[in-house]
Structure 1
């Protein structure tokens, strides 16, 4: 959705996001008006920029637990990611014909290479040097959003629930926002009580990796590969037996836990076809999402879906079958483009940081209190 630059009269922020799947950099130029329940948020222009293939290969390997990387390589990777992010920001502004000086700030998620909130000490690590982005774009940049929440005893994720609550909550019905990125996560928006949020398990990360290994395609377009197979009940039971699924919220996870080696260890000994494994992975995503919702907010009447998984009609149909009590629909039905909700959310988080307002919700992450998130890199 693009609007003429001369029609833009409100605050502009730019959000940059690359998720667990590392399938591209989502860039969103966002117009904000108002505060609190009067907040209005409009996507001025959005686009996803592909990673350089060699760089993406490195990111996926790191995300899946590769640890034979030198300090020099990590330092170089930090800079290369920042260059890619700043290129995306500049290209987006050029396409939208918006001068850099009209953008108040960039909110950059960076690229997660490790997320270990249960380690001792706990940590989370996103690469993409904010200094480089601010210097190349000439725009104040806010980055490194997750580590302050972890320092306060939280999971550092998910960070979108406060944004979802501001724009998608309803006093008439219990709702849930479901992000189907590399990992699936919920924001629970009850009519009464606290907003909550947590990861439910793998979504696109495992399905994409398995699809690429067996078809050479980076993702399962329209769910066709999964639709060509059948769920293996035996394999699904093995996958569901992972103790992580039984953990109570708050909880978060990533590719360092749910990766191809994790899957392969459970496939061995069985003989499902590659298509059957793909179908089982899709069922795993839908089943764990439905189980988590039934356990935490069973009166949910509407599930608003965003992220890449919303483009998979087979997955969306399976979710609807597992959640017959709720309407399952795209966030597009409520004015938020599902492809850019998270990038828009990081634009919003940058706005909150510059205003000195906290961006986390302790009921979601488990942090000891609300915190202003991120590090500010001046223009």
Structure 2
């Protein structure tokens, strides 16, 4: 037997596995690294976070990624070069963290690398009948495995697409395995660049689980904060938006986009929610001179209303009063007081930070990919039924270090 296959077999048999989960989102802020000790599999999965670190991307890294990010027309050679370059950068960050944590590479069983999304193209968005849903993440797993000496699982989203999904949201798998609780209806709301949530029924029946993107969370707010205030990367504590007034005409125009009329579940990204999405509405309504506070207030309200409407759609289909639900928030949006305030006004249920469930909201997505890797090597027995958007598959390509 090949020694790498033998090593993987031994890892699968272990009572606990040490898995390093990596996540870099569409906000392009940096790389989250969560070193997890995972025991069990499926609904018996138990995770302990041993170390967590976020390494910020330099401005140079952001500039290089933005040359291809969410664009239909790009320099294809640059994309090819980035695939290896991002992997090498991530491998270097891994090695630096392990050294800082004083953990030898041979004590880490697996790396679970999400990679860097550069384009998300569900059929709804590309509108080309003969082509399927598509998504692309770069940062090749072979390069990470070779540079770190650790077996690496990567490219998780392709299996989801191959099995009939749109490649997102993948949080549903980890949400169900880690956070489902008998007797409590939970909404696991992640507000990163894009907002998505997982509905976890009080019955714990996997076939009742539901997941969807809702639209923009922080993406548009961040884009226009940077446009008005180049020294700011985001509207900290909603200080700018709180001083503005929502422009109802603009809000209505933005919400009239066909994406918001599309049935659930659905996925989306910055391929839609970008400068042009807002600027075209501003031009149409002759609002090119709208103030920064009013625009940011309107965009924050857009996030709040579209998230709330999506949650209400799911809640109403359960025939359970919304008062019996708890929303657990994670992502940067959970730290936006205006967004949270408006959500609480629109949804008459209990709100909590997801941190109260024992896993830091900042680490949650990196942890979820570690859980996906654990399922691929040691589990994969969940069954979400035939529900659209949640294929019951294990994910991730396996790369050996030699």
Q: Same fold (TM over 0.5)?
A: yes
CA contact (8 A) 1:162 1:361 kept: no
Q: What is the rounded CA distance, in whole Å, between the counterparts of 2:119 and 2:294 in structure 1? A: 30
TM normalised by structure 2 equals 0.87
Structure 2 unmatched ranges of 5 or more: 1-14
Kindly provide the CA deviation profile for residues 100-130 of structure 1, in whole angstroms up to 9, marking residues without a partner as x. Answer: 1111101111111111121423211000011
CA contact (8 A) 2:42 2:375 kept: no
**Structure-1 residue corresponding to 2:364:** 341
TM-aligned CA deviation for residue 356 of structure 1: 5.7
Equivalent of 1:371 in 367, 370, 393? 393
Alpha carbons of 1:63 and 1:188: their partners in 2 closer, same or farther (altered >3 Å)? same
Alpha carbons of 1:157 and 1:364: their partners in 2 closer, same or farther (altered >3 Å)? farther
1:291 partner SS: helix
Alpha carbons of 1:74 and 1:36: their partners in 2 closer, same or farther (altered >3 Å)? closer
1:139 partner SS: coil
TM-aligned CA deviation for residue 53 of structure 1: 1.2
TM-aligned CA deviation for residue 364 of structure 1: 6.3
Q: What is the rounded CA distance, in whole Å, between the counterparts of 2:383 and 2:50 in structure 1? A: 25
| Larger gyration radius, structure 1 or structure 2 | 2
1:163 matched to 2:174: yes
CA contact (8 A) 2:16 2:40 kept: no
**Structure-2 residue corresponding to 1:109:** 114
**Structure-2 residue corresponding to 1:276:** 294
1:249 partner SS: coil
TM-aligned CA deviation for residue 54 of structure 1: 2.2
**Structure-1 residue corresponding to 2:214:** 200
Equivalent of 1:290 in 308, 314, 317? 308
Q: What is the rounded CA distance, in whole Å, between the counterparts of 1:361 and 1:92 in structure 2? A: 36
TM normalised by structure 1 equals 0.92
Kindly provide the CA deviation profile for residues 236-257 of structure 1, in whole angstroms up to 9, marking residues without a partner as x. Answer: 1011101101212221001111
CA contact (8 A) 1:26 1:46 kept: yes
**Structure-1 residue corresponding to 2:5:** none
Equivalent of 1:33 in 22, 39, 46? 39
Equivalent of 2:136 in 117, 125, 134? 125
Equivalent of 2:380 in 352, 357, 363? 357
Q: What is the rounded CA distance, in whole Å, between the counterparts of 1:359 and 1:80 in structure 2? A: 35
Alpha carbons of 1:276 and 1:30: their partners in 2 closer, same or farther (altered >3 Å)? same
Equivalent of 2:272 in 257, 260, 277? 257
Q: What is the rounded CA distance, in whole Å, between the counterparts of 1:36 and 1:225 in structure 2? A: 44
207-216 or 357-366: which moved more?
A: 357-366
- Provide the alpha-carbon RMSD of the alignment: 1.9
**Structure-2 residue corresponding to 1:13:** 19
Equivalent of 1:98 in 103, 111, 118? 103
Structure 1 unmatched ranges of 5 or more: 1-8
Alpha carbons of 1:159 and 1:208: their partners in 2 closer, same or farther (altered >3 Å)? same
1:53 matched to 2:67: no
1:235 partner SS: helix
Q: What is the rounded CA distance, in whole Å, between the counterparts of 1:292 and 1:113 in structure 2? A: 26
CA contact (8 A) 1:177 1:187 kept: yes
Alpha carbons of 1:237 and 1:363: their partners in 2 closer, same or farther (altered >3 Å)? farther
Q: What is the rounded CA distance, in whole Å, between the counterparts of 1:266 and 1:240 in structure 2? A: 10
CA contact (8 A) 1:196 1:363 kept: no
CA contact (8 A) 1:110 1:127 kept: yes
